Amino acid sequence: MRPSRRGRACWLGPAAVLLALTACGGDPVQSYCEEVSARQDELAGLLDDGGPDALLRALPVLEDLRAEAPGDLDDEWQQVVGRLRALDAALREAGVDPATYDRAEPPAEVSTEQRSAIDGAARELVSERTTTAMAGLEQQARDVCKTPLVP
CA atoms within 13 A on the CB side of 11: 6
Cα(63)–Cα(86) distance, integer angstroms? 13
How does residue 28 score in pLDDT terms, banded at 50, 70 and 90? confident
Distances 40 to 4, 33, 35, 101, 114 between C-alpha atoms, Å: 54, 11, 8, 28, 34
pLDDT, position 25: 52
Query: Cα(first)–Cα(last) distance of the chain, in Å?
Result: 63
3-state secondary structure of 138: helix
So what's the pLDDT on residue 31? 95
Q: Could you give the angle at which helices 112-125 and 74-94 cross, rounded to 10 degrees?
A: 160
The pTM for the full model equals 0.80
Percent share of the chain, pLDDT over 90: 77
Nearest to 125 by CA among 41, 48, 62, 42: 62
CA atoms of 42 and 2, how far apart (whole Å): 59
